Amino acid sequence: MAATQKLACFRLPPLPTIKEIIKLYNLRAEKQLSQNFLLDMRLTDKIVRQAGNLKDAHVCEVGPGPGGLTRSILKAGAANLLVVEKDTRFIPGLQLLSEAAPGRMRIAHGDILTYRLERGFPAHIAKTWEDVPPNLHIIGNLPFSVSTPLIIKWLEQMSNRTGCFMFGRTRLTLTFQKEVAERLTASTGSRQRSRLSVMAQYLCTVKNCFTIPGCAFVPKPNVDVGVVHFTPLAQPQIQQPFKLVERIVKNAFQFRRKHCRRGLEMLFPESQRRELTEELLRGADVDPTLRPTEISISEFRALADAYSKLCEENQGLIDYDFREELKLKHQAKRQLGSNHKGLKL
Ligand code: SAM
């Protein structure tokens, strides 16, 4: 009996279907905001199940749009749902849903890229980083246009334990273009291995849960979609600052098909390039002939530690940018050229 009552409290009163909401409020999808809606509640329920048990949970949903996924989150028992939506056209439909779940849903009109999520939830739900994850989840059928910058931003916040990670190891369940989902979860040596794989996997356990065919969305996007679940690691696999790790990984992957040495040497000014690259690779005990895709996370850890040591020993190295050096070199060359012309005249 008690169980039936519990289930009943998650049930929503009869509401217009999502299709009817779209018609009622004339919610034509805007391509500019990457709007592809999910109308099949079995699919939205399936996405929400990947987040785990949402009973009494605090949840932030990114881009609720007409509210299909939102309904599934409420049905799963979330007690405190904050939805962040950029497009004001969806607000009336979301208000209807909020009224159907009194006291359980708040609507914020805003841009998730700048929204201060840490202000959206009470401090008492926080757990220490090493503890079990807090009962706070981020869920979203993300707009393609913001999914990659958004996950990079959240990975950085995870590393610094800021934003929604001030509450501890907040879990994320998000959709990405299938190709991006594959990159996020690609293992060492695989074809899809990329910067994103390393940056995500050194900080989280990343799971590619399932693929949704493009035809399940309205309008149909040109690509299939992957649902990815992230649980931040209690002990990140690399213990250096995010920006330093990002620098190493970005350089390593600069020349994807070449030996990693080729990209890594660009971390150093031309005058010391040869010695410092040798020192880095020797210090990290990494084979210079590995391709970037073949470098494991523990080898990236060794590279980050060795690079950090080099930066301590060589002032200004951390700010070195080979593009700047190249630019200055070209400028000097041009200047020299015009001086010569001047002399001839
Ligand atoms: N959740 C809905 C669903 O599954 O049917 C809609 C998903 S649609 C792919 C993406 C949603 O994110 C749209 O409602 C869009 O207006 C919203 N959106 C786009 N950019 C956003 C941003 N920067 N911040 C918040 N919402 C955004």
The ipTM is 0.99
Nearest-atom number in ligand 1 for the CA of 175 is: 9
Note the pLDDT of residue 344: 59
Nearest CA to ligand 1 atom 22: 111
Rg (CA), the chain: 24
Other beta carbons within 10 angstroms of residue 63's beta carbon come to: 22
Ligand 1 centroid from CA 335, angstroms: 50
Note the pLDDT of residue 4: 41
d(CA 261, CA 251): 10
Nearest-atom number in ligand 1 for the CA of 217 is: 5
CA 260 to chain CA mean position, Å:
25
Classify each residue of 259-297 as buried b or exposed e, where b means 16 or more C-beta atoms within 10 Å of its C-beta: ebbbbbbbbbbeeeeeebbebbbeebebeeebbbbebbb
Contact call for residues 167 and 128 (beta carbons, < 8 A): no
Q: Report the side by side order of strands in the sheet with 58-62.
A: 105-109, 80-85, 58-62, 136-140, 171-177, 225-232, 204-212
Of 87, 224, 225, the residue with max ligand 1 atoms within 8 A of its CB, to mutate for a pocket test, comes to 87
Note the pLDDT of residue 3: 42
Ligand 1 centroid from CA 173, angstroms: 15
Q: Write the single-letter amino acid at 67.
A: G
Ligand 1 centroid from CA 59, angstroms: 16
Pairing of strands 136-140, 171-177: parallel
Ligand 1 centroid from CA 24, angstroms: 19
> If DSSP codes are grouped into helix, strand and coil, which group holds residue 220?
coil
What does each C-alpha distance from 85 to 73, 213, 318 come to in angstroms?
16, 24, 38
Note the pLDDT of residue 342: 63
Nearest CA to ligand 1 atom 1: 64
The tens place of each residue's pLDDT in the chain, 345 residues long, gives 344 444 345 788 888 888 888 888 788 877 777 789 999 999 999 999 999 999 999 999 999 999 999 999 999 999 999 999 999 999 999 999 999 999 999 999 999 999 999 999 999 999 999 999 999 999 999 888 899 999 999 999 999 999 999 999 999 999 999 999 999 999 999 999 999 999 999 999 999 999 999 999 999 999 999 999 999 999 999 999 999 999 999 999 999 999 999 999 999 999 999 999 999 999 999 999 999 999 999 999 999 999 999 999 999 999 999 999 888 888 888 887 777 666 555
Q: What's the half-sphere exposure (Cβ side, CA atoms, 13 Å) at 201?
A: 23
d(CA 57, CA 79): 5
Of 146, 150, 225, the residue with max ligand 1 atoms within 8 A of its CB, to mutate for a pocket test, comes to 146
Contact call for residues 77 and 49 (beta carbons, < 8 A): no
Ligand 1 centroid from CA 260, angstroms: 38
Of 35, 73, 90, the residue with max ligand 1 atoms within 8 A of its CB, to mutate for a pocket test, comes to 35
Classify each residue of 112-132 as buried b or exposed e, where b means 16 or more C-beta atoms within 10 Å of its C-beta: beebebeebbeeeebeebeee
Nearest CA to ligand 1 atom 14: 65
Cis ω for the linkage preceding 241 (within 30 of 0)? no
Cα dihedral sign, 257-260-266-271: negative
The answer for residues whose C-beta is within 8 angstroms of residue 330's C-beta and 6 or more apart is none
Nearest-atom number in ligand 1 for the CA of 18 is: 5
| Residue recorded with tokens 């009552």 | 5
d(CA 287, CA 257): 15
Nearest-atom number in ligand 1 for the CA of 39 is: 5
Among 159, 303, 183, smallest CA distance to 243 is for 159
Q: Write the single-letter amino acid at 105.
A: M
Note the pLDDT of residue 2: 42
**CB within 6 Å of ligand 1 — which residues?**
33-38, 62-66, 68-69, 84-87, 90, 111-113, 141, 143, 146
Q: Residue 167 forms beta bridges with which residues? A: none
